[in-house]
């Protein structure tokens, strides 16, 4: 079922921000570690380099910087933030990393929590935050997508290690009495296909006391059946986006920007071609960051807003997809400055 915000209160996208690690690892450098090369990686994925969190950096710091940049763009007093949602699958603390970001921001009136939906996480968090705003119970929210998949990658598995990088992005959204910026959205899950892409816990049990064992808290590296995930993405993303466009009677040619989860340039191209969207309207920064999971969409949005490709009033068709399996789409207007 496609949902829309269907509420008296609209939502306005008024700020965005991002932050990435300093360390850049290019494809040739990865070729020193595994049997791969720049030509293969570029032609199969569009990725040229990725950023990796180093010793003096942290995901929470990146997420804080991204959020702060979004709040600055929105020109908010941090005390007016009601809600902070951190979409991540790689928290520094399994109990949740969002409260630490709330404290770093000095956003003392905000409630903060983590949300996990892998690469769809940002979109799921955005829609979740929009419900609080639409209900009228909150006015201002910061939605962050941040991931450090490089700590869970098997750096000796060439099929996955070339794909991922670290980063953080954020948006600032607030209620508005004017036109609702979030036109509509849809979110989906299919756990029956979850085996295609996992970051499973290890199944190690250690002795606790006589006659009892306890499970050791530990995770295995990322495992992915790339072809299956690829097929899923190029099938489901056009369906969910197409249904949304139909529902709101928006023609693909009215879309100003196609903003997809940055997993593979071939997926971006395939989806764009299904809607005959020209390449100039397809946002891509895969070349520089690879797949930063929950961060890809706000990271790309921030780049395109700050370099003034995205202008106030532009219509953005957005879709995220990934582990779960999970996927979603949203149509929204950018209302912020620039
Ligand atoms: O964010 C979550 C969503 N994730 C995705 O959307 C990922 C979706 N999947 C993909 O993007 C693609 O499936 C990959 C980029 C992961 C792989 O591309 P592919 O065209 O499906 O390649 P493949 O796995 O079928 O591998 C083709 C060949 C194989 O060799 P053989 O068996 O044909 O001899 C692989 O061993 O390419 C080989 N290969 C590599 N060669 C050089 C696989 N990885 C590499 C590599 N360098 N890094």
Tens place of pLDDT for every residue, the chain, 338 residues?
Answer: 454 545 568 999 999 999 999 999 999 999 999 999 999 999 999 999 999 999 999 999 999 999 999 999 999 999 999 999 999 999 999 999 999 999 999 999 999 999 999 999 999 999 999 999 999 999 999 999 999 999 999 999 999 999 999 999 999 999 998 888 999 999 999 999 999 999 999 999 999 999 999 999 999 999 999 999 999 999 999 999 999 999 999 999 999 999 999 999 999 999 999 999 999 999 999 999 999 999 999 999 999 999 999 999 999 999 999 999 999 999 999 998 87
Assigned domain for 202 exists: no
Q: Is 196 a catalytic residue?
A: no
Q: Is there a domain that residue 215 lies in? A: no
Q: 202 by DSSP, 3-state: which?
A: coil
Q: Is residue 322 assigned to a domain?
A: yes
The CATH number of whichever domain residue 234 belongs to comes to 3.40.47.10
Residue ranges with strand state E in the chain: 10-19, 23-26, 49-52, 83-87, 111-115, 140-148, 166-176, 182-189, 197-198, 205-209, 212-215, 223-224, 257-260, 315-322, 326-333
- How many domains is the chain built from? 1
Please give the Cα distance from 216 to 298 (Å, whole number).
Answer: 35
Indicate which residue's Cα is closest to atom 43 of ligand 1.
159
* 226 Cα to the center of ligand 1, angstroms: 6
Q: Is residue 212 part of a domain?
A: no
pTM, whole model, 2 decimals? 0.96
Q: Which residue minimizes the CA distance to atom 13 of ligand 1?
A: 226
Say if 89 falls within a structural domain.
Answer: yes
- Residue the block writes with tokens 């971006």: 268
- Ligand 1 neighbour 270 (Cβ under 6 A): no
- Domain interval for residue 252: 1-191+223-338
Q: Which of 27, 69, 264, 291 is catalytic?
A: 291
- C-alpha distances out from residue 265 to 18, 51, 135, 254, Å: 21, 18, 37, 22
Ramachandran quadrant class, 84 (left: phi over 0; alpha: psi -120 to 50; beta: rest): beta
Evaluate: CB of 38 within 6 angstroms of ligand 1: no
Cβ of 44 less than 6 Å from ligand 1? yes
């Amino acid at each position: 079922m496609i949902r829309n915000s269907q509420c008296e209160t609209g939502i306005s996208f008024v700020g965005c921000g991002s932050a990435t690690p300093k360390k850049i690892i290019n494809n040739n450098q990865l070729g020193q570690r595994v049997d791969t090369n720049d030509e293969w990686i570029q032609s199969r994925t569009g990725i040229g380099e990725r950023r990796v969190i180093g010793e003096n950096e942290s995901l929470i710091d990146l997420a804080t910087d991204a959020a702060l940049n979004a709040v600055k763009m929105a020109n908010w007093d941090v005390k007016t933030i009601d809600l902070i949602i951190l979409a991540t699958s790689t928290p520094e603390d399994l109990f949740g990393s969002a409260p630490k970001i709330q404290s770093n921001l000095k956003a003392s009136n905000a409630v903060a929590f983590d949300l996990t939906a892998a690469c769809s996480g940002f979109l799921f968090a955005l829609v979740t935050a929009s419900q609080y705003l639409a209900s009228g119970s909150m006015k201002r929210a910061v939605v962050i997508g941040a991931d450090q998949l490089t700590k869970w990658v098997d750096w000796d598995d060439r099929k996955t290690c070339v794909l991922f990088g670290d980063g953080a992005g954020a948006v600032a959204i607030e209620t508005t009495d004017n036109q609702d910026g979030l036109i509509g959205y849809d979110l989906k899950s299919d756990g029956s296909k979850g085996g295609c892409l996992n970051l499973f816990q290890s199944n190690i049990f250690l002795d606790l006391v006589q006659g009892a064992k306890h499970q050791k808290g530990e995770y295995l590296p990322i495992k992915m059946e790339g072809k299956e995930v690829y097929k899923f993405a190029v099938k489901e993303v056009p369906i969910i986006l197409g249904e949304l466009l139909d529902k709101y009677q928006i023609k693909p040619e009215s879309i100003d920007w196609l903003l997809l989860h940055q997993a593979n340039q071939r997926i971006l191209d395939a989806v764009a071609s299904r809607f005959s969207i020209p390449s100039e309207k397809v946002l891509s920064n895969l070349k520089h960051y690879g797949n930063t999971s929950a961060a890809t969409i706000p990271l790309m949005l921030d780049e395109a807003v700050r370099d003034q490709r995205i202008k106030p009033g532009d219509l953005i068709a957005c879709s995220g997809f990934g582990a779960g399996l999970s996927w979603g789409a949203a149509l929204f207007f950018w209302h912020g400055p620039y």
